[in-house]
Structure 1
Amino acid sequence: MSAEFLLGAASGIYWGDTIFYLVLFLVLVALIKHFAWGPITSMMEKRAEKIASDIDNAEESRAKAEKLESQRQAALKDSHVEASQIIDRAKTNGEQQKSKIIDGAHQEVTALKENAKQDIARERQDALESVKDDVAELSLSIASKVIVKNLKLEDQKALIDSYIEGLGKQNEVK
């Protein structure tokens, strides 16, 4: 052994120190594994899980956003359709009201024309009756004056003219 020990000493390797350092290294590795490696790997796993969870949440949020966007687009289309229907109904109602107003106006004009015709006929009848009454009065008046006086033809013409002139003045007063 001494030869080996000398040989090892001559080569500069001390096996006792080497074994001691090797045991110390193994103890240090075991301590690091027990106290540091476990918490570090646990921390790394938790971080990896958090990142995976964040990615999943982001994916879910993106899916929800896409779903909400499609719902918004559908609602927008529905509102356009509804607006078009409301406009169509308003146009239809407007056309119906326009027709009713025009029909009412035509009926009113027809009624006014009929009333005007009746008024004109009544006024005409009244004028004719008035003229008949005036002619009857004129005839009676002339006859009574002719009877009272035997007039000459010229006197009769003058009498008729004066009576007609008086009649025109009476109508102006009325």
Structure 2
Amino acid sequence: MHNSILMEKSLVMEDRSNILRRMKVCRFCLCNEEDNLLNIQEKHPQDPDINIPLPSLSLQIMACVSIEVLQSDGMPQFICKDCRNITTQAYIFKTNCKKSDDALKLFLLTGQMAKPYMHDVVQIKVAPASEKCISIVQEDEEVEKNEIVTTTTMGGETKVYIKIYIVLL
């Protein structure tokens, strides 16, 4: 009798696993707008405004959020366009932080400071919880270097503007 209960639980878990694997949902925000979803494992064109080479999306995800994304992991294999943009910007920011840290340490040794290269101003729309996805769009607003500015519109929408710098070594 004990074995039959274990087998029944195993079948239920297997059914759930199959359902989960086939779900058309963003793995990171659970957005389920099919026309907004991209397969994580497929190669997608890089944003033409980003002029540095980027690794695959699954490697960017692993580098930024420490979640291993494998085709065989049984999890949904989709990411929405908004989460993809967030991931790319987070990866660029993380890479820039590492390069800047290396440049500052090199300055201690050599006395030479690397010159920063301004990348993009990114607008992150902080949406109410009822919205399905967070959107990121390029914005060209007056934002001071190394400054994070938040503004609230009449409708209560909060906007955060961030300038991202990439240090070329």
| TM-score of the pair, normalised by structure 1 | 0.23
The structure with more strand, counted as a fraction of residues: 2
The structure with more helix, counted as a fraction of residues: 1
Structure scoring higher RCO (CA < 8 A, sep ≥ 6) equals 2
